[in-house]
Amino acid sequence: MKFNYKKMVPFIGILCSNAITAQAPAIEWQKSLGGTNPDRAHTIIQTADGGYMISGASNSNNGNVTGNHGNQDYWLAKLNATGNLQWQKSLGGTGTDYGSSIIQTADGGYVVAGTSDSNNGNVTGNHGLTDGWVLKLNSDAGIIYWQKSFGGTNYDVINQMIPTTDGGYIFAGNSSSNNGDVTGNNGYVDYWIVKINADGNLQWKKSLGGTGDDRAISIVQTSDGGYAVAGYAENNNGDVTGNHGGKDYWILKLNTDGGVIFWKKSLGGSHQDLAYSIKQTSDGGYIVAGNAFSNDGDVTGNHDGTDAWIVKLNSDGNLQWQKALGGTKVDDASSIIQTADGGYLAVGSTTSNDGQVTGYHTPSSTGPGEAPLSYDYWAVKLSATGSIQWQKCLGGSGSDEASSVIQTADGGYVIAGSSNSTNGDVSGNHGDYDIWVVKLAQDNLATNEVVKDATTVNVFPNPAKDNITLKLDYFTPSMEVTITDMLGKTIHTQKLEGLTTKINTGSLEKGIYFLNLMGGKENISKKFIKE
C-alpha cells in the first residue's frame, strides 16, 4: 500500500547529511517468479531445510504458476537455499484470494492465512464479502488438513498471523462487520484480533477502535504471553485517544486474552502516518516501521514527502527515539527486523534519489504527461540507536516494491516483494508483476562500526541440538537470558547460574534463534541455529 502526498508549499531547499558508515552487502542471487499476469509476494520465511517459503497472490496460470482457480489465488512458492523453485501451489476459488502470512509448523507442514471473497474451489464457509481465510497444509501443500473462513457479512481482512506459545495462532486485521465471528465493532473499520487453537477453532476475538478507519497490520506475542499490535487509527473516540490528526500509528499492548489493554499509544503528527510492522526487541521494547507524511508532533526530520518512519518504544510504549528516513519523494518501510548485531534492518520502497537515498533506478521514459510512480526496493540498516549504517536501492526501471525481510542462517538477508522490471538488478520477469526475491550477503560492517560487547559471551555448540551452553567472563545475579525466534517471539527465559549456564533447547523446533543476555553491563544478542 503506497501513499503519494505532495505538500502544498513551495520547495525552498533541504540540507541533509548522509551519515552512511558502511558499504551495503552485495546481491548473492535474485529470482523472478510468476506468470504473465500480476503475481505478488507478501511474506517470506526461512524453512527448517534452509530454503524459503513465500506466501502471496497470483492472477497467472502459466510460467511458474499452475492450478489457478480463477481471478486471484493464494500462491505459495517453496524455494531451496539458492532460490530455485521446488514446488508451488495455488489455493482459492473463483473470487479474489490473497495470502498474507505463512508459518511452518512442527510437523513440517504450513499454516497460511489471508483474505478471500470466494466460496467455492478450496474455500468454504464465507460469511459474505471478504473473510479471513486460514488453511493447514502438509509439507508440500498437497493435502489441506483443515480450512476456516472467519468474519461477518461485511469486509473482514487478515493482515498478519503468527504462531502462539500454546501451539495455536493469532491474527490481526480489520473488520467492518458486527456479526458472525465479529462482535463489538465501534463504527466503520476496527482493529480485529482473533485467537484460534491448533485446529483452527476460534478461542476469542476482539474489535478495537473508534468511529474512524482503524486497521491492525502487524502483531507480535510478547515475552509475558500477551500481544502488541500495530497499525493505524483516526479520530479520537472509542478506544482511540491521543490522535494528532489524520491517521496515526496506533500501538496497543494487550493481555493474553485481549480483554485488557495495558497501554495504547497514538504516534504521529498532523498528517497521515501509517504503521506496517512491529517486533519486540531484545531489551523488552518494540521497534515499529511504516511511513509518515507529518513533520510535527512525534515526527521530526521529514525530508519533504512521505518518509519511512522508524519508532523505538520501551516496554511501556514510551517513545525512545524516532527516525524519518528518505528523500523528497515517496519512501516507506513495510517490514522491519532486529538483526543479530542488535541493530535493525527496514525494507520498503522508494521513489527518491536524494536525501538519504542513493542508487535509485530511474524509470524508463513513458512519453508525454506525468509518469506513474516507479519504486525501488529500499533496504536501510540501522544501528541499535537508529543511525544509518548502510542503505541500498534494488530494482530496475519498472516498479519494485518490497514487502518482507528476514535475516538468514548465514547472517545475510532475503527480501521479497513484487517487480515488473526487466533490467537493472532484475532478470527473468515473466510479464507484468512477478514475485521478486533478492538474497543479500552478510553486512560489510568494519570493526569500528560494530558495538563491541564489554562482556565476553561464548555460545556453544552452535548449531545446537538438546542443549546450548552460555559462557561469560562477567556475572551478576540480576542477569537473565531469553531465547527469541525470527519473529521476535520469546520462547524461553531463565536466570543465569553463574559464569556458565546450560540451557535446554531440546523442545525448540529446527530453525534460527537469538539468545539475548540482559541485566548485566549491557544487553547482548547472539544468534544460534537449532538442528
What is the pLDDT confidence band of residue 448, given thresholds at 50, 70 and 90?
very low
pLDDT tens for residues 241-277?
999 999 999 999 999 999 999 999 999 999 999 999 9
Whether pLDDT at 11 is above 50: no
**How distant is the alpha carbon of residue 60 from its chain centre?**
25
46 vs 485: CA distance, rounded Å:
12
C-alpha 524 chain-centroid distance: 23
Mean pLDDT score, 121-144: 98
Split at pLDDT 50, 70, 90, the class of 189 is: very high
Residue with more model confidence, 306 or 16: 306
* Between residues 2 and 89, the one the model is more confident about: 89
Amino acid at 347: V
Cell of 298: 512525534
The whole-number average pLDDT for the span 132-151 is 98
DSSP state of 524: E
Burial class of residue 362 (count of CB atoms within 10 Å of its CB; 0-12, 13-18, 19+) = exposed
The region of weakest confidence among 20-29, 164-173, 251-260, 298-307 is: 20-29
pLDDT over 70 percentage in the chain: 92
The answer to whether 451 touches 476, Cβ cutoff 8 Å, is no
Please determine, for residue 173, whether its predicted confidence score (pLDDT) is greater than 90.
yes
3-state secondary structure at position 79: strand
pLDDT at 2 over 70: no
Which of 117 and 21 is assigned the larger pLDDT?
Answer: 117
pLDDT score for 522: 63
Task: For residue 219, give every residue at least 6 positions away whose Cβ sits within 8 Å of its Cβ, in sequence order, or none.
Answer: 160, 162, 170, 171, 172, 193, 227, 228, 229, 230, 278
For the stretch 208-224, pLDDT in tens is: 999 999 999 999 999 99
pLDDT, residue 521, reads 61
Looking at residue 476, its pLDDT comes to 73
**Is 93 in contact with 135 (CB distance < 8 Å)?**
no
Please report the domains of the chain, with CATH numbers, ordered by start residue.
Answer: 40-57+73-150 (2.40.10.480), 155-325 (2.40.128.630), 336-362+375-442 (no CATH), 457-530 (2.60.40.1930)
Q: What is the CA radius of gyration of the chain?
A: 22
Split at pLDDT 50, 70, 90, the class of 497 is confident
Predicted local distance difference test score (pLDDT) of residue 295: 97
Q: Lowest-pLDDT range, 9-13, 155-159, 229-233, 235-239? A: 9-13
Which residues in 235-360 belong to E strands, given as ranges? 247-254, 261-267, 273-280, 286-292, 307-313, 319-325, 331-338, 344-350
In this structure, what DSSP letter does residue 487 have? Answer: T
- Residue 511's pLDDT is 87
User: What pLDDT is recorded for position 5?
Assistant: 30
Q: Give the distance from CA 482 to its chain's centroid.
A: 22
In this structure, are residues 391 and 380 in contact, taking their beta carbons and an 8 Å threshold? yes
What is the phi/psi pair of residue 299, to 5°?
-100, 125
pLDDT at 368: 58
Three-class SS of residue 257? coil
pLDDT at position 457 is 83
Query: What mean pLDDT is predicted for residues 223-247?
Result: 97
CA distance 353 to 425: 17
| pLDDT of 446 above 70 | no
| Beta carbons within 10 angstroms of residue 405's beta carbon | 26
- Rounded to 5 degrees, φ, ψ at 526 are -125, 140
pLDDT band at 38 (very low <50, low <70, confident <90, very high): very high
Task: Assign 477 a pLDDT band (cuts: 50, 70, 90).
Answer: confident
Q: What pLDDT is stored for residue 472 in this prediction? A: 81
What mean pLDDT comes out for the span 496-509? 89
Q: Which residue has the cell 519508532?
A: 311
Flag whether pLDDT at 401 surpasses 90: yes
Query: What pLDDT, on a 0 to 100 scale, did the predictor assign at position 123?
Result: 98
- Give pLDDT tens digits for 356-374: 999 999 997 655 555 568 9
